[in-house]
Structure 1
Amino acid sequence: MDAVTEIGWSSLELAARRHLWSLPLGEVERRLLWADALAGRWGAAEPVRARLRDFVRDAVASVGITHIGGLVDPAHPEKRITEVLSFLLADYGRIVPQNGRGDLTSVLHDQDGDGNTELGFHCDTCDLLVLLCLRPAFDGGGLTKLASARHVHDLIERERPDALATLCEDWTFDRTGRAGPQVVVTPILYHQKEGTVGCYYQTRTVRSSPDRGGPELTDRQWEALGVLDEVLYRPEIAFGLPMAAGDLLIIRNSRVLHGRSPYVDEPGPYARRMLRIWVNEGDTWAR
């Protein structure tokens, strides 16, 4: 396999190497997975399961994302799709709460026109972010935007090493009232023990944390955030992924930042809907 070993991919590089991270499923494979998931045990779909698991593991380890085209038939009821996906995800880790209410799943949709506003780049507070498209936006917007932490790191290192040094210092993210740790203190960009570049960024949270009792941001920190945001929104950085109904996307939060392009939705049954699940890996890959 022409593996990508923690390179800093640009949008063009990711598009050119789609075979490394995107796998389309056929109708027979989809039906086999669906039947086993409904039964709650593995049987005829075991070979498909193994192929899928290997591909997801390799893609997430190398590129930081996995896209599975046509994982489920979107014509099925949302409740049943959620149950099937939850069963399939047991191979990749443990589903964890994604908000203060303890919800294990949620469906993202336009609320009071907020789809018209672009969702800025950020990282969720889990190992793997899982998104399954139930219905795309009718106007073609609402693309999931992806950016490689390694590529962002290397660009800032070349152009503004002073800003990178600041981004590699500890920052405070006050997440009071949300799922998981209430206060996260971490660098925004950092080197992980396996040699990869890691990231943790929530643009609104880091800016509002001083209002919740966190340390005030210095002029140097404000400037570094500006540099980071400017780099993230360069056209060659962000890859916009269109997802069809039934497509699955898995993102490793410590390696890839994500956001969403704006969209204009149509109310009712044709509105954009995206099923979101948070997964923590533990020792799952070792099994």
Structure 2
Amino acid sequence: MTGSTIDDIGWTSASLESAPDVWSSSVGDDDRRLLWKDATAGRRDAGEAAYTAVRTSLRAGLDAVGFATVRNVIAPDAPEAELITGLSFLLDEIGGAVPQNARGDLWTVLRDQDGDGATELGFHCDTCDLLVLLCLQPAADGGGMTKLASARRVHDIIARERPDALALLREEWRFDRTGRAGRQIIDTPILFTQDDGTVGCYYQTRTVRASATLDARRLEALDHLDEVLYRPEIAFGLRLDAGDLLLIRNSRVLHGRSPYVDRPGPEARRILRAWMDER
């Protein structure tokens, strides 16, 4: 990573911090108002320049590092229906929403459920092209940070340290997702080479460990993968403030969430989520 360019998608936490303009941009208050007036009306007008800037920034970040953020893209206290309409318009040229659960929901608001926020959400990939997260209210205690890891960097570290484990991770594994949205049974390598030469990933530690008969070698490979993912130089922590938008390309970036302690009422953490297939 040099300046505003990235020569290799295998980024680290330090390289991301040194060049935030590669993956992050922001919208000024005046542009935000123009943008959302157009978005909720469903047509481009006075906010055309802001729309183009946001779309260009998101595309650039997704292509460079596999994720992108736009700060202050909305007024987070807008009605939920307006947020969904506006985001659908804003992201229409990037992707379209697909069901993210067995009920067929296209948009859901994530909240703490019976204290589950106190448990860390491990690194994984979702079964869609793009994960969309819009922060409506961050956790009051400062937790609940999104954690990101580069599949390429993880691949290269394991190739150097444990080529035997990498060989296993490049074999097919079975993920049993019975009762969830999308494909119920997925047979895929965890790390693999994509058609464009980039390193791809698909991982859900709970489903793969629960659904397959794993011998000691495969269990050890998974343990090593998890250990690498949680190294500080690999696990990049990203805090989203109210009004911030994050897009993650699942085929190149693994994601998780740090634990948090929620507060009842208006300070409770809320994240609007969508799954999208890329256009």
- What residue in structure 1 maps to residue 164 of structure 2? 162
Matched, 1:237 2:239: no
Residues 101-160 of structure 1: CA distance to partner in whole angstroms, max 9, x if unpaired? 100011111111111010000001000000000000000000000001011000001000
**Residue in 2 aligned with 1:265?**
262
For 1:175, the equivalent position in structure 2 comes to: 177
Query: C-alpha offsets along residues 159-200 of structure 1, whole Å, 9 cap, x if unaligned?
Result: 000000000000001111111111111100011111100000
Q: Measured at CA, do residues 69 and 20 of structure 1 come closer, stay the same or move farther in structure 2, by a change above 3 Å?
A: same
User: Once superposed, which parts of structure 1, at least 4 consecutive aligned residues long, lie more than 6 Å away?
Assistant: none
User: What's the counterpart of residue 13 of structure 1?
Assistant: 15
Cα deviation for residue 274 of structure 1 reads: 0.4
Distance 1:141-1:174 versus aligned 2 partners, 3 A rule: same
Alignment check: 8 A CA contact 2:135 2:244 kept = yes
Alignment partner of 1:150 is 2:149:
no
Structure 2: gaps spanning 5 or more residues: none
Does the 8 A contact of 1:175 with 1:182 survive in 2? yes
Q: How does 1:1-287 map to 2 (within 5 A)?
A: 2-210=4-212, 216-281=213-278, 284=279
Letter in 1 for 2:53: R
Per-residue deviation at 1:54?
A: 1.6
User: Aligned-pair RMSD on alpha carbons?
Assistant: 1.1
Distance 1:112 1:54 in 2: 39
* Alpha-carbon displacement from aligned partner over 1:17-55 (angstroms, at most 9, x marks no partner): 111000011011111110011111111222222222121
Whole-angstrom CA distance in 1 between matches of 2:194 and 2:154: 15
CA distance in 1, matches of 2:260, 2:192: 33
Alpha-carbon offset, residue 280 of structure 1: 0.2
Q: Distance in 1 between matches of 2:258 and 2:188?
A: 27
1:230-274 deviation per Cα after TM superposition (whole angstroms, max 9, x unaligned): 101111110110110000000000000000000011012210000
2:276 corresponds to which letter in structure 1?
A: V
Distance 1:60 1:70 in 2: 19
In percent, how many aligned pairs have the same letter?
A: 62
- Does the 8 A contact of 1:121 with 1:232 survive in 2? yes
CA displacement at 1:75 relative to structure 2: 2.4
**TM-score, normalization by structure 1:** 0.94
Contact 2:149 2:254 in 1 (8 A): yes
For 2:74, give the aligned amino acid.
V
Counterpart code for 1:241: L
Q: In structure 2, what is the Cα distance between the partners aligned to 1:139 and 1:177?
A: 33
Q: CA deviation at 1:5?
A: 4.1
Q: Please, what TM-score do these two structures have when normalized by structure 2?
A: 0.97
Q: Distance in 1 between matches of 2:96 and 2:9?
A: 28
| 2:85 match: secondary structure | helix
How far apart are residue 77 of structure 1 and its match?
A: 2.0
**Which amino acid letter does the alignment assign opposite residue 19 of structure 2?**
R
The 10-residue stretch of structure 1 (247-256 or 170-179) with the greater mean CA deviation from structure 2: 170-179
Q: SS of 1:269's equivalent?
A: helix
Structure 1 residues without counterparts, runs of 5 or longer: 211-215
Q: Is the 8 A contact 1:5 1:63 kept in 2?
A: no
